[in-house]
Amino acid sequence: MALRQLLSPLLFPAATLSTSTASSSIRLRTSPLFLQQLIQPLLYTPIAIPAAIRIGVPSILAEIWESILRAVPKKKTSHRKKRQRFLAGKGLKDVTALNKCSACGNVKKAHVLCPFCVNDIRKLWNRGSHNNSQSGFQSKQYLTTHTIDHAHPTDIYALATTPTQILSASGSSSILVHSTNDPEFPLSQTLEKAHKLGVHHLTTSRNGKVAASVGFGGELKIWSEEDGKWSQSREIVDSNKPGEIWAIALSADGQYLAATSSDGRINVWDNLADGAKIREFETKGSFGMSIDISVDGRFTASGHENGGIYIFNNDTGRLFHSLPGLVRSVRAVAFSPGGKLLAAAGESKVIALYDVSSGEQVAILTGHGAWIFSLDWSDTGEYLLSGAFDGKAKVWSIDHRTCVATHAETEKTLWSVNWLPKTGRNEGFATGGSNRSISFYREATGG
């Protein structure tokens, strides 16, 4: 039986979904157990996929859930274990190498920064953060301005913005559109039944006129905006079996759409030419987990499960750079607005910056303690926003190659983080993830 047929009667009654958490016990009583097993893994915990395999989910989809969404890093050593190690004398080391800090004269461990000085510097930084006229390094402060709790009935996998709206997509079938012009972020449109099995990727063009979405059923849809309302303009039916198309990106003007596939191919379609495929790039066959198109539309970058990162040139139709990739899966790639840098991140927990023209790695930003799922450049290219498995969102200063703000309001995975259109002089961003809420942040005006 096809997965879609199996799921559709249960997935679509909106009521079943929207009350799912509160009434899971009720649903257990009213629907067949095997369907519970199937739906639960798909919608709530991406872990229990074996249950779904048993009843014949297309194996490629199962594999995707296994490898992509089962984002459970290795267990940390428990406190009990740690204590036992310490009790057994294994964790303790004598601190022998001590010296005096040359700056403040306090005794400190050799080869580490002096804790006294670090504290002083930290205090200075904190003072500096309230002074916007100060030049040089400073941390930034963002305040939560609004949260749409339970925006979606399941994990929010993707957020995408336009100059006036934020679109969101989740494991349920609808895409939601909220207005960003109003501080309350009111719902302005619901694209119902956009993808029956839910949506795993959603993106918008920079000019805000075109959106694209990929469903768990394998469908790839293009949407267009007119007077603030979205409607489906096209469905790209190429070879899309479930899982065939994974990550997607649109060019700034919405003309080009690029997508990765599970077998490592990168396809590019031209929206103006009736969605004709204009490019098909080959890689070494590792799952394409992330993709981006440069603002000028000339370059397409892809990040892969095996850590590989490639940049393709649209003009020549060829591979431009095979970058020194990351050690582990690359779950996000993003070109800077000026097109000079490419940022890449994922299971290595670091963000690598590459020079696009030379293909050289120019920086590694460290600080996240968990897998990174999402990256977004600010409009000016000064800041990079990242979101991670442990619920932390970070803002990085590109000039200073350092983290200037960390937000940890949730411990649930952040699948997507996005800068918001600038209103006034303050920059803000939105986050969405496993806790099903969309949260909005604005930079605090210091002074």
Ligand X SMILES: *[C@@H]1O[C@H](CO)[C@@H](O)[C@H](O)[C@H]1NC(C)=O
Residue numbers at the binding site for ligand X (CB under 6 A): 131, 133-134, 144, 147, 149, 278, 297-298, 314-315, 409-410, 431, 435, 437, 439
Compute the least distance from the CB of residue 259 to ligand X, in Å: 15
Shortest distance in whole angstroms from residue 248 CB to ligand X = 17
Residue entry with tokens 């590694």: 364
Kind plus residue range of the DSSP H or E element containing 269:
strand 266-270
CA distance 272 to 64: 31
- Smallest distance, Å, CB 270 to ligand X? 7
Q: Which residues pair with 80 in a beta bridge?
A: none
In whole angstroms, how close is the CB of 279 to ligand X at the nearest point?
7
Q: What is the rounded (10 degree) CA torsion for 205, 333, 244, 197?
A: -60
Rounded-to-integer distance, Cα 413 and Cα 391, Å: 5
Nearer residue to ligand X within complex by CB, 189 or 431: 431
Query: 393-397 and 402-407 as β-strands: parallel, antiparallel, unpaired?
Result: antiparallel
Angle between helices 33-43 and 3-11 in degrees, nearest 10 = 90
Nearer to ligand X, 165 or 434 (CB): 434
**Measured between alpha carbons, how far is 307 from 327 in angstroms, rounded to an integer?**
5
Instruction: Closer to ligand X by CB, 296 or 360: give it.
Output: 296
CB of 241 to ligand X, least distance (A): 26
CA distance 298 to 316: 9
Q: Tell me the three state secondary structure of residue 426.
A: strand
Residue 227: which residues within 8 A CB-CB, separation 6 or more? none
d(CA 438, CA 191): 17
Q: Nearest approach, Cβ of 433 to ligand X (angstroms)?
A: 7
50 vs 317, which CB is nearer to ligand X? 317
Residue 326 Cα distances to 178, 242, 352, 398, angstroms:
35, 27, 8, 19
Q: How far is the CB of 88 from ligand X (least distance, A)?
A: 39
CA 443 – CA 447 distance, rounded (Å): 12
Would you say 84 or 357 has its CB closer to ligand X?
Answer: 357
Shortest reach from residue 348's CB to ligand X, in Å: 23
Nearer to ligand X, 355 or 409 (CB): 409
Choose between 144 and 322: whose C-beta lies nearer to ligand X.
144
| Nearer CB in complex with ligand X: 298/331 | 298
The token pair at 367 is: 């600080």
